[in-house]
Amino acid sequence: MAKNVVIRDVTYQSVPSVKIPLSGGSGEAEFIDTSDATLNSASKLPQGTSAYANGVKYNGTAAENDSDDITVSGATVTVPAGFYSEQASKSVASGSATAPNNIVGTSAAVSTGNNTITLSKSVSVTPDVTAGYVASGTAGNSAVSLTASVTTKAAATITPGTSDQTIASGTYLTGAQTVKGDANLQSSNIVYGVQIFNVTGNVQVPIISQDSTTKVLSIS
């Protein structure tokens, strides 16, 4: 905050600070008016820092915290007082409601089509709720229509080729899946240094060359 300063009976208007040369010409001291500072507690400064306000020096005492200092209990997140040099966060577990074993209802309806089995059943459930955040509108005792679909795959023979062949996760196999084998998959049938399905070949292939002048063939 700028102030009017009188030096040798001369008034200087709106002076923000005063610099006075130190003895020996080793620099200067600067005096700044801090009367408009709002700092009034060391707990508002991080540890290892200091500041002046209204003529008082405050040495920071605020602890530096991070995500590990944040605690979660159910849906309550507690952020301790202190200094955070960067963004800190903590995940809150989502609650869940699951049906117990005593489900009351009629037999499930089963339908098939397009390589898919669909099970449908109307049941009355009493959810078991776990700790955590549970969205509003979660059903209590009520009739719930459950529908589940499973992709199916009939019996098939898989012949190895030059690229991988996969069966998608979650597929229900309605028949045996047979991966073809071949008795000729032996090292004696594979060129030396070539590996096929972890079998390394040991067949040495002769190299034939011809001298361009004499036309003599060489086999190595």
Length of the chain: 220
- Relative to beta strand 116-125, strand 142-153 is antiparallel
Q: In angstroms, how far is CA 213 from the centroid of its own chain? A: 69
Do 147 and 202 sit in the same domain of this protein?
A: no
Nearest partner of 110 among 144, 154, 149, judged by Cα: 149
Answer yes or no: is 158 within a domain.
yes
Residues above pLDDT 90, as percent of the chain: 11
Structure tokens at 200: 């390394």
Q: Tens digit of pLDDT for each residue in 148-169?
A: 667 788 899 999 988 999 998 8
As a whole number of angstroms, the distance between CA 96 and CA 139 comes to: 11
Q: Tens digit of pLDDT for each residue in 169-187?
A: 888 888 899 999 999 999 9
Answer yes or no: is 143 within a domain.
yes
Nearest partner of 61 among 42, 83, 40, judged by Cα: 42
The model's pTM is 0.33
Answer yes or no: is 58 within a domain.
no
Q: Which domain holds residue 174?
A: 101-181
Q: What is residue 141's predicted lDDT score, i.e. its pLDDT? A: 46
